[in-house]
Amino acid sequence: MKEQYQKKSYTLFWAWLALLVAVVLFYIYGGRRYFPVIGPGKNLGIIVLVFLDLLFVLMLATQSVYWISGVTYEKAAEAGAGARRRFALWHLVIFLVATALFLVYCFGMKGVLVPDQTRDALVAGGAVCAAVVASSRVRL
């Protein structure tokens, strides 16, 4: 007997996206005083990477791997629960490593490098891009 896969839904994904936008806008328009003073580029990089980690935790918990581009709902349903969990877990691990490396850059290099928002944003973007490229090799 084939297992029953959940009904297709993007509600939790849209809630995650709305919360990400709300937090970024809050930070940009006056919420900076509530964040550690390590620089705007670093803070926004941390926010985005942590939210991506949260997205993959949600995907792991709900097995909604079809939220990722290139994975259809039908393909996810065919794959089985174990394959969906492994797929989401690999993505989570890759993005957690990217977050950890960015945090090392933020706090480990704090006294070594002259503060530069542009470089910080580029490093954050590079961490996200590297994680996306690395996770693109993971197959369902």
What is the tens place of the pLDDT at every residue in 31-46?
A: 878 877 788 889 999 9
Tens-digit pLDDT profile for residues 51-76: 999 999 999 999 999 999 889 999 99
Nearby residues of 5 by Cβ (< 8 Å), 6 or more positions away: 63, 76, 77
pTM over 0.75: yes
- The alpha carbons of the chain give a radius of gyration, in whole angstroms, of 17
Residue ranges of domains in the chain? 11-135
Residue type, 48: V
